[in-house]
Amino acid sequence: MSAAPPPATGAWREGDPPGRRQWAAVAGPVPDTRVAYETWGTLNADRSNAVLVEHALTGDSHAAGPAGPGHPTPGWWDGVIGPGRAVDTDRWFVVCPNVLGGCQGTTGPASTAPDGKPWGSRFPAVGVRAQVDVEAALADALGIDTWAAVLGGSMGGMRALEWAVGRPERVAAVLLLACPAAASAEQIAWAAPQLHAIRADPLWRGGDYHEHAEGPHVGLGIARRIAHVTYRSEPELAARFGRKRQGDGQFAIESYLDHHAAKLAGRFDAASYLLLTEAMNGHDVGAGRGGVDAALARVTARAVVAGVDSDRLYPLAQQEELAAKIPTAQGLRVITSPSGHDGFLTETGQLAGLLKELL
């Protein structure tokens, strides 16, 4: 008996369990924009202990804590956030919002528009700067003038960098992990077939599939397979899978990619994936600011810049540029890992050292 297809979207929808989410209504690119966020710890009297944590492409506000109703997976940075951990919630008030255009509570393509229908294809393109504008509105709503630190890796690192460059007076310290000053031609090239796969799925329906029984999960799954190869390293894949086959004759590496594709289809939205990927493609911190060098010179926050030695998606040369051109950075920190780009999530011990250095 074949398994039932996944729903049209894995987005969080009204009526789903809220989990640990809270919401704030903010000014945004569409009416009734709101941000879903989670917090840990207690904001002190002078509001000086707030730390902003920025998630990556398929992450969400659930940075710490177990899986449960409303949260299909455990916290993606659970090993470093909590009492006595590197981001010690007995000391720091930690805030993690779901990004604008995402699909886990913050307004995005799967959200309901004022006419009662999903935004779908009507949701506007939003870049990294617009995403940070909404996060700044959330900070205002929480009464936080200055973040003690902004922490981010990959797409989250792009937003952390935008905070430090665009609002230097509001950021005291920043951790930039496995991210660039601007998306490269190769990164845009890796994204292109992912975007084509989603748009070519017959169930994409021009982006207006959310009210149908099925959505473009085949296209989303292909996109995830492509992306996941770039997240890991060739030596790791060779060591883990090699040319091994399973009992059905399928290569073990194919089964691994199939697993990750199916897993994402159950918890994410194809339109959000497309919109956020295009935001990453458009990332250029120097645009309209006189170029990258001039933009990075604006950073006044204490900066720790780190990359992963086996990262083939955002290679160390991009973090070397950040470390060399940000005046407050004290050289490049290197995470040693066989895991490729995903090392910024998996190498808990080394991450803890970087976080303790910053905080």
Name the pairing type of β-strands 34-40 and 93-97: antiparallel
Is 145 tagged catalytic?
no
Residue 6: band (very low, low, confident or very high) from pLDDT cuts 50, 70, 90: confident
Q: Tokens representing 259?
A: 């697993």
For the entire predicted model, the pTM comes to: 0.97
What architecture is the 22-183+284-358 domain classified under in CATH? 3-Layer(aba) Sandwich (3.40)
Is 342 tagged catalytic?
no
Instruction: Outline where 61-179 has alpha helix (H).
Output: 128-142, 155-166
Rounded to the nearest 5°, which phi and psi values hold at 245? -115, 155
Out of 133, 201, 311, 342, pick the active-site residue.
311
Element (H, E) at 38: strand 34-40
The residue count for the chain: 359
CB of 231 within 8 A of CB of 341? yes
Give, in order, the Cα–Cα distances in Å from 11 to each of 39, 152, 191, 268.
Answer: 21, 22, 21, 5
d(C-alpha 321, C-alpha 73), whole Å: 34
Residue 4: band (very low, low, confident or very high) from pLDDT cuts 50, 70, 90: confident
Kindly report, residue by residue over 186-195, the tens digit of the pLDDT.
999 999 999 9
CB of 289 within 8 A of CB of 165? yes
CB of 355 within 8 A of CB of 175? yes
Residue 295 CB contacts under 8 Å (≥ 6 apart), including other chains: 165, 181, 285, 286, 289
Secondary structure in 3-state letters for 230-273:
HHCCHHHHHHHCCCCECCCCCEHHHHHHHHHHHHHHCCCCHHHH
- CATH no. of 186-280: 1.10.1740.110
Residue 3 has pLDDT above 70, yes or no: no
Out of 154, 233, 272, 337, pick the active-site residue.
154
- The pLDDT > 90 percentage for the chain reads 98
Kindly report, residue by residue over 321-335, the tens digit of the pLDDT.
999 999 999 999 999
Kindly report, residue by residue over 55-76, the tens digit of the pLDDT.
999 999 999 999 999 999 999 9
Is 341 tagged catalytic?
yes
Domain ranges within the chain, ordered by starting residue: 22-183+284-358, 186-280
The two domains 22-183+284-358 and 186-280 share their CATH topology (first three levels equal): no
